[in-house]
């Protein structure tokens, strides 16, 4: 018998994740070029020779620290190998085959991946003006809907949905639906009307707020993220957790990172200053871009993004091509906001590529 005949049909439909390609200046995966807190690096070094031991299976200290940091019930904190793993746990714990999962297109890759993996129905709602169309997403909810993903800020466009828009949406979400508010870029947000999503957790709604140490905390390589939910929802997620899912080095690095607010402030400042620099450069080149609440900018370069990518690679710069997000984004690239030197190098290369 062929393996293909043994494989679950839905697994056969899964497309492997295509990671951002690397280059000496990598502006492809929304990493933080300033790097992690020195306290985190020190903690990793100090614990390096203790990796012979299995990690704390329930991340006792990090859970307590996160609960204190966000002023939430520690029972409601669930920690994973990146917020990717929390998305995976949501699928394992809650999704029965044939149930509906709603998400915006273009999506963050893990939403369709988990939906297909769990053999569920994809209900895709096209972004409107490059942002989540929450009224249409609420409208799409049926008796068979189990899960809705809302990326806020939205990767790849950098747009966001406001406090009021989310409140109106939440009013329309029935009790049998779980809402995953994916806030991987939360720490970079500067919009005054960005929602306080933890209020829905405190109200006991069926909501999980996803956060990560991969972005502002610059620990992407260690894989560390978490969800905050009402305790019954978090307990259900922990039921499908592998026994030692979070490495000991990730746990100590995360803990140390929370003790260094200056690292977060530095990184936020860089993104705020540099996004102004990049906007001005794009304006000068006459390129259309979307104002961002993340550490990346979606910009229409006016030529095929794959060609633009290949030509930027010749200048040692990697960005993300828009074609992976759908045909209408063929001319768009997503560029991570780097250090000033990286951004200057990127702009100078882009000017050459576009002849501007």
Ligand X SMILES: Cc1ncc(COP(=O)(O)O)c(C=O)c1O
Binding-site ranges for ligand X (CB under 6 A): 30, 82-84, 108, 151, 155, 182, 184, 212, 214, 220, 225
| Assigned token pair, 33 | 């070029």
Alpha carbon distance 122, 112 (integer Å):
7
Comparison of 212 and 257: residue with beta carbon closer to ligand X: 212
Residues 6+ apart with CB under 8 A from 99: 118, 120, 121, 144, 145, 146, 147
Comparison of 106 and 225: residue with beta carbon closer to ligand X: 225
Residue 208 in contact with residue 180, Cβ under 8 Å?
Answer: yes
Residue with tokens 């990560």: 212
Least distance from C-beta 37 to ligand X, angstroms?
A: 17
- 3-state class of 286 per DSSP? coil
Comparison of 86 and 347: residue with beta carbon closer to ligand X: 86
Least distance from C-beta 266 to ligand X, angstroms?
A: 20
Least distance from C-beta 349 to ligand X, angstroms?
A: 23
Comparison of 7 and 191: residue with beta carbon closer to ligand X: 191
Comparison of 33 and 225: residue with beta carbon closer to ligand X: 225
Residue 247 in contact with residue 222, Cβ under 8 Å?
Answer: yes
Residues 6+ apart with CB under 8 A from 182: 83, 87, 108, 149, 150, 151, 152, 210
CA 58 to chain centre: 23
**263 vs 26, 48, 143, 152, 267, CA distance in Å?**
21, 22, 45, 22, 6
Comparison of 101 and 349: residue with beta carbon closer to ligand X: 101
Least distance from C-beta 61 to ligand X, angstroms?
A: 19
The stretches of 147-260 forming alpha helices (DSSP H) are 163-172, 198-202, 231-239, 248-258
Least distance from C-beta 214 to ligand X, angstroms?
A: 3
Least distance from C-beta 355 to ligand X, angstroms?
A: 32
Least distance from C-beta 256 to ligand X, angstroms?
A: 18
Comparison of 86 and 173: residue with beta carbon closer to ligand X: 86
Residue 256 in contact with residue 39, Cβ under 8 Å?
Answer: yes
DSSP letter at 295 equals S
Comparison of 83 and 116: residue with beta carbon closer to ligand X: 83
Least distance from C-beta 103 to ligand X, angstroms?
A: 11
Alpha carbon distance 39, 128 (integer Å):
42
Residue with tokens 């995360």: 254
Residue 222 in contact with residue 48, Cβ under 8 Å?
Answer: no
Least distance from C-beta 153 to ligand X, angstroms?
A: 8
Which residue's Cβ lies closest to ligand X? 82
Comparison of 20 and 55: residue with beta carbon closer to ligand X: 20
């Amino acid at each position: 018998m062929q393996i293909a005949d043994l494989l679950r049909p839905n697994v056969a439909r899964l497309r492997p994740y295509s990671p951002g390609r690397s280059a000496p200046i990598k502006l492809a995966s929304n990493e933080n070029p300033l790097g992690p807190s020195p306290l985190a690096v020190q903690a990793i070094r100090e614990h390096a020779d203790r990796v012979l031991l299995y990690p704390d299976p329930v991340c006792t200290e990090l859970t307590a620290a996160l609960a204190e940091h966000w002023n939430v019930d520690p029972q409601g904190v669930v920690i994973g190998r990146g917020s990717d793993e929390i998305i995976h746990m949501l699928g394992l714990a809650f999704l029965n085959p044939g149930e509906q999962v709603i998400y915006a297109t273009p999506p963050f890759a893990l939403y369709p991946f988990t939906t297909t993996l769990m053999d569920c129905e994809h209900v895709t709602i096209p972004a409107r003006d490059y942002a989540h169309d929450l009224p249409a997403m609420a409208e799409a909810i049926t008796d068979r809907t189990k899960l809705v993903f809302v990326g806020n800020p939205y990767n790849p466009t950098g747009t966001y949905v406001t406090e009021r828009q989310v409140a109106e949406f939440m009013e329309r979400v029935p009790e049998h639906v779980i809402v995953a508010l994916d806030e991987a870029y939360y720490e970079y947000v500067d919009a005054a009307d960005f929602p306080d999503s933890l209020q829905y957790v405190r109200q006991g709604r069926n909501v999980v707020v996803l956060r990560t140490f991969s972005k502002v905390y610059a620990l992407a390589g260690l894989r560390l993220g978490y969800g905050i939910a009402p305790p019954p929802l978090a307990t259900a997620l922990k039921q499908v957790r592998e026994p030692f899912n979070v490495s000991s080095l990730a746990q100590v690095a995360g803990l140390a990172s929370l003790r260094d607010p200056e690292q977060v402030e530095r990184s936020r400042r860089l993104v705020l200053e540099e996004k102004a620099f990049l906007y001005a450069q794009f304006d000068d080149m006459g390129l259309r871009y979307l104002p961002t609440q993340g550490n990346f900018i979606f910009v229409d370069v006016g030529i095929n993004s794959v060609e633009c990518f290949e030509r930027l690679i010749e200048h040692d710069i990697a960005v993300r091509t828009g074609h992976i997000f759908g045909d209408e984004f063929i001319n768009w690239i997503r560029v991570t906001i780097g250090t000033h030197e990286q951004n200057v190098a990127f702009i100078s290369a882009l000017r050459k590529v576009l002849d501007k």
